[in-house]
Each structure stands twice: as structure tokens, then as C-alpha cells.
């Protein structure tokens, strides 16, 4: 049976990886047309935690490559018509895979309504609300330090599948054909191992005439920032150097951003 959706999860010593995999499996409506690919980035998890399921595949990288390299490795072995890039600490709504693959068009990246996850209790933090839209902006982080980031945005639109201009980057899908033709792989030179991957794929998609969409018919919950990070901070062999990544992303994409963002101010 052909695979409809491949979910690629770059993993670096995160204690919630297997809860994330369990949520993907339990809430799937694609059955055998789903595959989950966990990429162990230079480490092995505890054997007793490993989920044995024919829909789950594991890739072990002999040394830590960082999040971008791990994503590239997972995509390289994926077999799905679509693939999802996913953080290793997320929960999903029922039927997420069917809903997203049925609605994502050939030239689109798509994310979903995002809630906030308490990973310790493994439950949605209802009091935090949810995020549908974000607008891509350039933020002044500190004197001399700037970066692309998503800013909360509330356009007066009611469409359940709608265009947006930024996403967190913790979960998105696209057709594999679009990746092969327009993204090809996440660049590690300049960006470093861990940051600005959502900016890169969105900019390349917009340049190629594609769109970034949010689908409010389904949802996922991503670990709230109050809880510690793992993969994004890298490892001793692969430090994140986030300020260098931010600066490189601006160097490459700020002129194009200044051109396309003029239209966003009118929305």
C-alpha cells in the first residue's frame, strides 16, 4: 500500500518523543498510509520506550548533525506523497493526517491551529488559547541583534483554510513533489544546524509562486516555552549559534521580504 503521509521527527534526547509518536498513531485516520520516521540525531533512546509498530521507522545518525541535518536525513528515506516536519513534543487532534493531506494543494505549505502543550501532564493548556494566524516581522532582539519571527495577527477572516504569512515551524506539511522541486534540502551552511528552517521553506515557496496556509479544521499542541528545550539548543559537537543563524537569514532574505511584505500591511 502506498504511503500518503510521512511524518519526519528530528530527535535529540527529548523525553516526549514517544508520547508524540503515540499521539500521531492514535489520532491517525490514514491507517497504513501513514509512516512516522523518528531520526535519532547521534544518540539512542532507552530501548524500553521504543514503540514497535509497522507504521514507525527509526533512523539513527552516527553523529549529531543538528535539527536541519536530521530533517534532511528523514526526508531522504520518506516514502509519502506528503511529508510533515514535526517537533518531538506535540499532540494531535483526531484525523489530523486525513484533514491536512486532503486540503494541502500542490504548491502549498500547510500548518494547523496551534495550541500549547503541558508535556508533563500531557494535556492542552486551555487557558493559553490557540494561534491561527501569525505575521512575519523583523524583531529587534537586543542592540544590534535582529531576526525574523512570527507576530500574533488577527485578520478579520473566517475561512477555515486560509493564507497566512508566518508559522512557528514546529509542524507543517507539504507535498513531497514541491519539496523535491523547490526546497530540495534544508541548507546548513550559513544557517547552522538548528534555526530559521521555517523562514527558509516559506521564502523558497513564495519565490516559486506557492502559499503558506493554516487549516483551522484540525489542530496540534506544541510544548509551551515555559518547559525546557532539547534539540534546538544543539549539542557540544553542534552548537546552535542562533544569532549567526538569524543574521544569515536576514542577509539572504531581507530584500525579498521587504518586497513581498508591502502587501501584508493592507490585510
Domain boundaries, the chain: 5-266
What CA–CA distance (Å, rounded) separates 36 from 52? 11
Q: Are strands 145-152 and 130-131 parallel, antiparallel or unpaired?
A: unpaired
pLDDT tens-digit series, residues 67-96: 999 999 999 999 999 999 999 999 999 999
Return the sign of the alpha-carbon dihedral for residues 127, 133, 150, 173: positive
Q: Is the pLDDT of residue 239 over 60?
A: no
Give Cα separations from 15 to 3, 7, 57, 77, 192 (angstroms): 28, 18, 18, 24, 24
Q: What is the pLDDT of residue 26?
A: 98
Query: Which class in CATH covers the domain with range 5-266?
Result: alpha beta
pTM of the model as a whole: 0.94
What CA–CA distance (Å, rounded) separates 173 from 108? 8
pLDDT tens-digit series, residues 191-233: 999 899 999 999 999 999 999 999 999 999 999 987 776 655 5
Q: What is the pLDDT of residue 267?
A: 56
Q: What is the pLDDT of residue 235?
A: 54
50 Cβ neighbours under 8 A, 6+ residues apart: 18, 58
Give bridge partners of residue 107 from the DSSP assignment.
none
Q: Report how far apart the first and last C-alpha atoms of the chain are (Å, whole number).
A: 43
What CA–CA distance (Å, rounded) separates 68 from 243? 16
Are residues 223 and 231 in contact, defined by beta-carbon separation less than 8 angstroms? no
Describe the crossing of helices 197-207 and 66-77 by its angle, rounded to 10 degrees. Answer: 60
Return the sign of the alpha-carbon dihedral for residues 197, 198, 199, 204: positive
pLDDT tens-digit series, residues 103-161: 999 999 999 999 999 999 999 999 999 999 999 999 999 898 999 999 989 888 899 99
- pLDDT band (50, 70, 90) for residue 238: low
Q: Are strands 161-163 and 56-61 parallel, antiparallel or unpaired?
A: unpaired
- pLDDT band (50, 70, 90) for residue 8: very high
What CA–CA distance (Å, rounded) separates 49 from 19? 9
Give Cα separations from 44 to 20, 48, 72, 121 (angstroms): 17, 11, 19, 25
Residue with cell 491507517: 31
Cell of 188: 546548513
Where in the chain does DSSP place strands (E)? 5-11, 34-41, 56-61, 82-86, 90-92, 108-118, 123-124, 130-131, 134-142, 145-152, 161-163, 171-175, 211-223, 234-235, 238-239
Q: What is the pLDDT of residue 225?
A: 83
What CA–CA distance (Å, rounded) separates 22 from 49? 11
Amino acid at each position: 500500500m502506498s504511503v500518503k503521509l510521512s511524518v519526519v521527527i528530528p530527535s535529540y534526547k527529548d523525553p516526549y518523543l514517544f508520547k508524540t509518536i503515540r499521539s500521531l498513531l492514535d489520532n491517525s485516520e490514514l491507517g497504513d498510509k501513514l509512516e512516522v520516521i523518528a531520526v535519532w540525531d547521534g544518540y539512542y533512546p532507552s530501548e524500553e520506550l521504543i514503540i514497535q509498530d509497522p507504521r514507525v521507522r527509526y533512523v539513527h545518525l552516527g553523529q549529531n548533525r543538528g535539527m536541519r541535518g536530521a530533517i534532511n536525513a528523514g526526508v531522504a528515506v520518506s516514502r509519502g506523497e506528503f511529508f510533515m516536519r514535526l517537533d518531538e513534543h506535540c499532540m494531535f487532534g483526531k484525523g489530523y493526517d486525513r484533514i491536512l493531506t486532503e486540503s494541502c494543494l500542490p504548491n502549498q505549505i500547510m500548518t494547523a491551529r496551534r495550541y500549547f502543550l503541558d508535556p508533563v501532564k500531557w494535556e492542552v493548556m486551555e487557558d493559553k488559547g490557540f494561534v491561527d494566524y501569525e505575521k512575519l516581522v523583523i524583531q529587534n532582539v537586543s542592540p544590534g541583534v535582529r531576526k525574523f519571527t512570527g507576530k500574533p495577527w488577527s485578520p478579520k477572516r473566517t475561512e477555515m483554510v486560509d493564507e497566512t504569512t508566518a508559522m512557528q515551524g514546529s509542524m507543517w506539511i507539504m507535498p513531497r513533489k514541491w519539496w523535491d522541486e523547490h526546497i530540495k534540502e534544508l541548507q546548513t551552511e550559513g544557517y547552522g544546524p538548528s534555526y530559521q528552517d521555517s523562514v527558509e521553506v516559506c521564502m523558497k515557496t513564495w519565490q516559486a509562486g506557492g502559499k503558506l496556509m493554516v487549516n483551522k479544521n484540525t489542530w496540534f499542541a506544541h510544548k509551551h516555552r515555559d518547559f525546557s528545550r532539547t534539540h534546538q539548543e544543539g549539542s557540544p559537537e553542534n552548537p546552535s549559534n542562533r544569532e549567526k543563524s538569524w543574521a544569515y537569514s536576514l542577509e539572504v532574505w531581507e530584500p525579498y521580504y521587504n518586497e513581498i511584505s508591502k502587501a501584508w500591511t493592507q490585510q
